[in-house]
Amino acid sequence: MLGQWLALGALVGVVCGVASAAFLWLLEEATRLREANGGLVYALPLAGWVLGAVYARWGGPVRGGNNLVLETVHTGDAQVPLRMAPMVLVGTVLTHLFGGSAGREGTAVQMGGSLADWVAHRFRAGADLRRELLAAGIAGGFGSVFGTPVAGAVFGLEVVVVGRLGYEALLPALVASVVGDVVTRGLGIQHTVYPVPGALPLSVTVIGKWLVFAVGVAAVAVVFVEGLHRLKAGMEKRVPWLPLRMAMGGTAVVMLWLWVGTDAYLGLGVPGIVRAFEDPGLPVSVFAWKLAFTVVTLGTGFLGGEVTPLFFIGASLGNVLARMLGLPVDLGAAVGMAALFAAAANTPLALSIMAVELVGAGVLPHVMIVSTVAYVLTGHRGIYPAQRIGRRKD
Amino acid sequence: MLGQWLALGALVGVVCGVASAAFLWLLEEATRLREANGGLVYALPLAGWVLGAVYARWGGPVRGGNNLVLETVHTGDAQVPLRMAPMVLVGTVLTHLFGGSAGREGTAVQMGGSLADWVAHRFRAGADLRRELLAAGIAGGFGSVFGTPVAGAVFGLEVVVVGRLGYEALLPALVASVVGDVVTRGLGIQHTVYPVPGALPLSVTVIGKWLVFAVGVAAVAVVFVEGLHRLKAGMEKRVPWLPLRMAMGGTAVVMLWLWVGTDAYLGLGVPGIVRAFEDPGLPVSVFAWKLAFTVVTLGTGFLGGEVTPLFFIGASLGNVLARMLGLPVDLGAAVGMAALFAAAANTPLALSIMAVELVGAGVLPHVMIVSTVAYVLTGHRGIYPAQRIGRRKD
Interchain proximity A150–B360, CB inside 8 Å:
no
Interchain proximity A179–B365, CB inside 8 Å:
no
pLDDT at A71: 84
How many other C-beta atoms can be found within 10 angstroms of the C-beta atom of residue B56?
17
3-state secondary structure (DSSP) of residue B389 = strand
Interchain proximity B376–A150, CB inside 8 Å:
no
CATH architecture of the domain B204-383 equals Orthogonal Bundle (1.10)
How many other C-beta atoms can be found within 10 angstroms of the C-beta atom of residue A244?
17
Contacting residues of A for B368, CB less than 8 Å apart: 150, 153, 174
Contacting residues of B for A176, CB less than 8 Å apart: none
Contacting residues of A for B357, CB less than 8 Å apart: 361, 364
From 3.40.50.620, 1.10.3080.10, 3.40.50.300, 1.10.150.120, which CATH number describes the B2-186 domain? 1.10.3080.10
Interchain proximity B372–A348, CB inside 8 Å:
no
B368 CA to chain A: closest CA distance, Å? Answer: 7
pLDDT tens for residues A179-216? Answer: 999 999 999 999 999 999 999 999 999 999 999 999 99
B354 — alpha (psi -120 to 50), left (phi > 0) or beta? alpha
Q: CA-to-CA distance for A267 and B313, rounded, in angstroms?
A: 51
Q: Which residues pair with B389 in a beta bridge?
A: B162
Contacting residues of B for A5, CB less than 8 Å apart: 376
Contact B390, B164 (CB under 8 A): yes
Q: CA-to-CA distance for B132 and B138, rounded, in angstroms?
A: 10
A76 — alpha (psi -120 to 50), left (phi > 0) or beta? left
Q: Which of B11, B158, B167 is most worth mutating to test chain A (most A CB atoms within 10 A of its CB)?
A: B167
Q: Which of A1, A6, A178 is most worth mutating to test chain B (most B CB atoms within 10 A of its CB)?
A: A178
pLDDT at B158: 92
- How many CA atoms are closer than 13 Å to the CA of A77, on its beta-carbon side? 10
pLDDT tens for residues B58-83? Answer: 888 878 888 888 888 888 877 888 88
Interchain proximity B356–A356, CB inside 8 Å:
yes
Q: Which of A14, A144, A155, A167 is most worth mutating to test chain B (most B CB atoms within 10 A of its CB)?
A: A167
Interchain proximity B163–A166, CB inside 8 Å:
yes
Interchain proximity A377–B202, CB inside 8 Å:
no
Q: CA-to-CA distance for A186 and B50, rounded, in angstroms?
A: 62
pLDDT tier for residue B204 given thresholds of 50, 70 and 90: very high
Tell me how long chain A is.
394
Interchain proximity A364–B377, CB inside 8 Å:
no
Q: CA-to-CA distance for A334 and A196, rounded, in angstroms?
A: 8
Q: CA-to-CA distance for B328 and A365, rounded, in angstroms?
A: 28
pLDDT at B384: 87
Q: What is the 3-state secondary structure (H, E, C) of B28-54?
A: HHHHHHHHHCHHHHHHHHHHHHHHHHH
Nearest to A372 among B171, B353, B364 (CB): B171
Cβ neighbours of residue B221 closer than 8 Å, sequence gap 6 or more: B340, B343, B344, B374, B378
B390 CA to chain A: closest CA distance, Å? Answer: 9
Nearest to B202 among A178, A391, A393 (CB): A178
Q: Which residues pair with A164 in a beta bridge?
A: B166
Contacting residues of A for B211, CB less than 8 Å apart: 6
**Per-domain residue ranges of chain B:** 2-186, 204-383
Q: Where do runs of H (alpha helix) occur along B242-363?
A: 242-260, 270-278, 285-299, 307-325, 329-345, 348-359
Interchain proximity B165–A170, CB inside 8 Å:
no
Cα B54 to Cα A103, B58, B60, B61, B244: the distances in Å are 63, 6, 10, 13, 12
Is the pLDDT at B394 greater than 80? The verdict is no
Contacting residues of A for B202, CB less than 8 Å apart: 149, 178, 181-182
DSSP string for A279-337: -TT--THHHHHHHHHHHHHHHTT--S-SHHHHHHHHHHHHHHHHHHHT--HHHHHHHHH
Cβ neighbours of residue A68 closer than 8 Å, sequence gap 6 or more: A61, A62, A80, A84, A110, A113, A386
Contact B156, B169 (CB under 8 A): yes
pLDDT tier for residue A144 given thresholds of 50, 70 and 90: very high
Contact A165, B164 (CB under 8 A): yes
3-state secondary structure (DSSP) of residue B161 = strand
Nearest to B356 among A1, A364, A393 (CB): A364
Contact B33, B97 (CB under 8 A): yes
Q: Exposure string (b/e) for A230-240, b if CB count within 10 Å is 16 or more?
A: ebbeebeeebe
Q: Which of B328, B291, B243 is nearest to B59 (CA)?
A: B243
3-state secondary structure (DSSP) of residue A73 = helix
From 2.30.29.30, 1.10.390.10, 1.10.3720.10, 1.10.3080.10, which CATH number describes the A204-389 domain? 1.10.3080.10
Q: CA-to-CA distance for A373 and A336, rounded, in angstroms?
A: 12
Q: CA-to-CA distance for A335 and A322, rounded, in angstroms?
A: 10
Average pLDDT in the B207-219 region?
98
Cβ–Cβ pairs < 8 A, chains A and B = 120
Interchain proximity A360–B364, CB inside 8 Å:
no
Contacting residues of A for B171, CB less than 8 Å apart: 372-373, 376
Contact A70, A5 (CB under 8 A): no
pLDDT tens for residues B80-123? Answer: 888 888 999 999 999 999 999 999 989 999 999 999 999 999 99
Instruction: Report the chain A residue with the minimal C-alpha distance to residue B393.
Output: A168
- Which range, of A85-89, B175-179, B183-187, B329-333, averages the lowest pLDDT? A85-89
Nearest to A203 among B182, B360, B390 (CB): B182
pLDDT tens for residues B356-366? Answer: 999 999 999 99
With a pLDDT cut of 70, the percent of chain A lying above it is 100
Query: Would A2-186 and A204-389 be classified into the same CATH topology?
Result: yes
Interchain proximity A369–B204, CB inside 8 Å:
no
